[in-house]
Structure 1
Amino acid sequence: MKEKRILYVSSEVIPYLPETEIASMSFEAPQMVNAKGGQIRIFMPRYGNINERRHQLHEVIRLSGMNLVINDFDMPLIIKVASIPKERMQVYFIDNEEYFKRKATFTDEEGKLFPDNDERAIFFAKGVVETVKKLNWSPDIIHVHGWLASLLPLYLKHYYASEPLFSESKIVTSIYNQGYEGSLSKEMINKIAFDGIDPASISELEDPTYENLMKVSLRNSDATIVGSEHLEENLMKLVNTTKIPALPYKKKEEFAQAYEEFYTTKVLKEE
């Protein structure tokens, strides 16, 4: 992995949120690449339940200050950054007060999905790409974790299709059991279509369930990794029917070599 550039985009990363399969692997995988001499960038949302003082987040003025258009509304993009303790790894946080200031990640106190989770996902995808463009950093691989990040492959393949910075980038999507019950807003497909993306290419999102969101993500990816040891049957069927390379689940003690080989031989297709 020496000198390879890998962009990790995740809905959750430890130590900023409690440990889950997604949060753990979103730390472990970049740590492995970093230790092997690769270059990494990590992006996640700046949820309101992340303690900025304890984790020493600070705003990066030169990267902030842009507005992203979401469903015909201008939404300010704020970029914050922090360093993971004892690791030479920085995490970039995509922030917007209206979308991420609330003191929870995906649901309210009653466990109901936030009604604007669809817009939060669109904002996150666009915010990551626009920030990487400002960094002028061209990744070899973009590795996506978690459903809130799952629109990134779609936007890269369609909305940003002519962006030269990502013309050689390969997209990997990890798929986990960690989804959500029910559906996101039924208006999601129209909000994505507002960005010039053909609704016919995202017809599943007329009913934006977790499974349908992952279908769209995988269809716009170059490879997939199974992130849960016991993936639900319908999700496993989705992986098995995809025409892209797939890496089966690997336990923490064996994932490093498997991920490195998969990145190199199946994603980048190097000898």
Structure 2
Amino acid sequence: MRLLFVASEAVPLAKTGGLADVAGSLPKALKERGVDAGVVMPKYGSIPESAATQMIPLATFTVWVGWRRQYCGLLKAEIEGVTHYFIDNEYYFKRGGLYGYDDDPERFVFFSLAVIEALRFMDTPPDILHCHDWQTALVPYLLRTKYGHVAEWASIGTVFTIHNLKYQGVLGTQQLMDLVGMGDEIYGYRGLEYYGAANMMKGALEYADKLTTVSPTYADEIQTAEYGEGLNGLLRHRAADLAGIVNGIDTISFDPMNDPALVTPFRNSLAKKRRNKLALQRELGLPESESTPLIGIVSRLVDQKGLDLVAAVLGELLDEDVQLVVLGSGDPHYEGIFRHATESRPDKIKAWFGFNDSLARRIYAGSDMYLMPSLFEPCGLSQLLALRYRSVPIVRETGGLRDTVKSYEEATGEGNGFSFASYNAHDMLFTIRRALGLYRDEKTWEKIISNGVKEDYSWTKSAKAYMALYQELAGRRKAAELSGVN
């Protein structure tokens, strides 16, 4: 089976979020299971020079974007054992960032068209194209419509993964027609019309053979009006082809026993973990205390992450015998709240604004608890990293948080963290206080941590689920090919 991931970002080359972790880690896990898995992505100007120097030119060709013929280069490199293809166009991709530009729709229409055109120049066409999020959502649509006449591509299966339904690639109807070079038929039966606009993600939801998202609960949630972002009806219609598969983490990179960012390597020793807590307290200027519970937050500082709940009860939380460490950036409103709290109560809270991977790892290792009260969370990786570093998660029961964190039950001794259902600040505070109370019972706390240790956070389990999905799709496409049905 030959599989090609189509993604706008992938570690270790370009990253803004969890999509990059999936596109970087899942192909490696699949290769271990015998799949010829590769990745195609834009050749951003920010890709590290060490990777750029490995790229070998394969072809140059032109791509029609509206009435313009745009240059496209196709390059290839082996990165961490995985074949990567790069779509090169400096006008679109040699910029300071990955996204956030006024012409983002045009940039990724070009990318989608270029990926399909690039199939002509690859040694062997893939059996399956696995596309990710709105930036690549036109690929399944274009493959079956604009390029539906290309017989040798008819047997290629398509999978589309929704990482966050909130971002759909919505643009003007005339603009999309102009960019892809198609007429009004683009908005007909199974078309891309969306409340008077055009919706790129809708193309994949209509035309991809299989749909996935990043947790079973999120797969259920997005079929409801509350979480469906206007596409819930279509997702219910495609429910038989929609699967929720929880993301994994790179357990080699994120290994508290072999993480160079940590002061003291540890596995299951609470004594060694607490040495990392003391070191973190010392690094950030907090009073050093093994016995004081330390709560960590590593997050984008935005509404989605439930920070309005934290802000609402921050004073009450800091009145507890607790310390809080926050790392992240985002909404100036939340940055201001945490900055003011750090200045007014420096013995209780420290906030570090920006991205710092080493410090993030030390927070996972040094914190006793990890707070993640998200409004919605398709999967979430932070709670998995917290569990990996033996920090007990406190989460709201939504999306992947509900699927991976089970609230501790004193009667049965089961559960690897703490959770609350209602999106309510005092429900969150009550749950934190419950965790703080049980923290002081060393035996119970060790039990909660040991429950978390039993979980498999690697890509192994997820890769098995994807393998089953790919094999089902490959069989279905083969049967259709034999019967002469596209």
| Same fold? TM cut 0.5 | yes
Tell whether the 8 Å contact from 1:172 to 1:222 is kept in structure 2 after alignment.
yes
Distance in 1, Cα, partners of 2:62 & 2:184: 20
Q: Deviations over 1:226-254 (max 9, x none)?
A: 12576451158353331551211324232
The answer as to 2:157 corresponding to 1:189 is: no
Q: Aligned runs of 1:48-59 on 2, under 5 Å?
A: 48-51=45-48, 53-57=49-53
Distance in 1, Cα, partners of 2:51 & 2:79: 8
Give the match for residue 471 of structure 2.
264
Looking at secondary structure, tell me which structure has more helix per residue: 2
Distance in 1, Cα, partners of 2:129 & 2:168: 27
Alignment equivalent of 2:103, drawn from 116, 121, 125: 116
The answer as to 2:113 corresponding to 1:132 is: no
Give the match for residue 204 of structure 1.
193
Distance in 1, Cα, partners of 2:127 & 2:73: 25
Q: Aligned runs of 1:37-48 on 2, under 5 Å?
A: 37-48=34-45
The answer as to 2:99 corresponding to 1:89 is: no
Alignment equivalent of 2:228, drawn from 234, 240, 251: 234
Residues 1:176 and 1:152: Cα distance change in structure 2 (over 3 Å) = same
- Deviation larger for 114-123 or 227-236: 227-236
The answer as to 2:42 corresponding to 1:35 is: no
Distance in 1, Cα, partners of 2:146 & 2:158: 15
Structure 2: segments with no counterpart, 5+ residues: 249-457, 480-486
The answer as to 2:94 corresponding to 1:101 is: yes
Alignment equivalent of 2:149, drawn from 155, 162, 167: 162
Distance in 1, Cα, partners of 2:211 & 2:68: 33
Q: Deviations over 1:127-159 (max 9, x none)?
A: 111212112422221110121111111110111
Distance in 2, Cα, partners of 1:219 & 1:181: 13
Specify the SS of the correspondent of 1:161: coil
- Deviation larger for 121-130 or 55-64: 55-64
- Deviation larger for 137-146 or 249-258: 249-258
Structure 1: segments with no counterpart, 5+ residues: 108-113
Residues 1:196 and 1:184: Cα distance change in structure 2 (over 3 Å) = closer
How many residues are matched? 255
Tell whether the 8 Å contact from 1:59 to 1:78 is kept in structure 2 after alignment.
no
Distance in 1, Cα, partners of 2:164 & 2:186: 27
Q: Aligned runs of 1:238-253 on 2, under 5 Å?
A: 238-242=234-238, 245-252=241-248, 253=458
Give the match for residue 152 of structure 1.
139
Tell whether the 8 Å contact from 1:159 to 1:196 is kept in structure 2 after alignment.
no
User: TM-score, structure 1 length as denominator?
Assistant: 0.83
Residues 1:186 and 1:162: Cα distance change in structure 2 (over 3 Å) = closer
Tell whether the 8 Å contact from 2:215 to 2:245 is kept in structure 1 after alignment.
yes
Alignment equivalent of 2:208, drawn from 208, 214, 221: 221
Residues 1:197 and 1:23: Cα distance change in structure 2 (over 3 Å) = farther
Tell whether the 8 Å contact from 2:108 to 2:135 is kept in structure 1 after alignment.
yes
- Deviation larger for 72-81 or 232-241: 232-241
Distance in 2, Cα, partners of 1:194 & 1:251: 36
Distance in 2, Cα, partners of 1:204 & 1:195: 14
Q: What is the alpha-carbon root mean square deviation over aligned residues?
A: 2.7
- Of structures 1 and 2, the one with the larger relative CO (CA 8 A, separation 6+) is 1
| Cα shift at 1:166 | 1.4
| Cα shift at 1:174 | 0.3
Q: Deviations over 1:19-57 (max 9, x none)?
A: 622111112221122112222231011222223x13234
Question: Higher Cα Rg: structure 1 or 2?
Answer: 2
Tell whether the 8 Å contact from 2:163 to 2:213 is kept in structure 1 after alignment.
yes
- Deviation larger for 216-225 or 132-141: 132-141
Quote the sequence identity (%): 24
Distance in 1, Cα, partners of 2:465 & 2:134: 23
Specify the SS of the correspondent of 2:193: helix
Give, as a single letter, the amino acid of the residue that structure 2 aligns with 1:234. Answer: G
Give the match for residue 333 of structure 2.
none
| Cα shift at 1:80 | 2.7
Specify the SS of the correspondent of 1:33: helix
Q: Deviations over 1:2-21 (max 9, x none)?
A: xx011110111111123622
Give the match for residue 111 of structure 1.
none
Tell whether the 8 Å contact from 2:247 to 2:462 is kept in structure 1 after alignment.
yes
Q: Deviations over 1:150-173 (max 9, x none)?
A: 111111011111112311111110
Alignment equivalent of 2:59, drawn from 24, 45, 63: 63
Give the match for residue 396 of structure 2.
none
| Cα shift at 1:199 | 2.7
The answer as to 2:22 corresponding to 1:25 is: yes
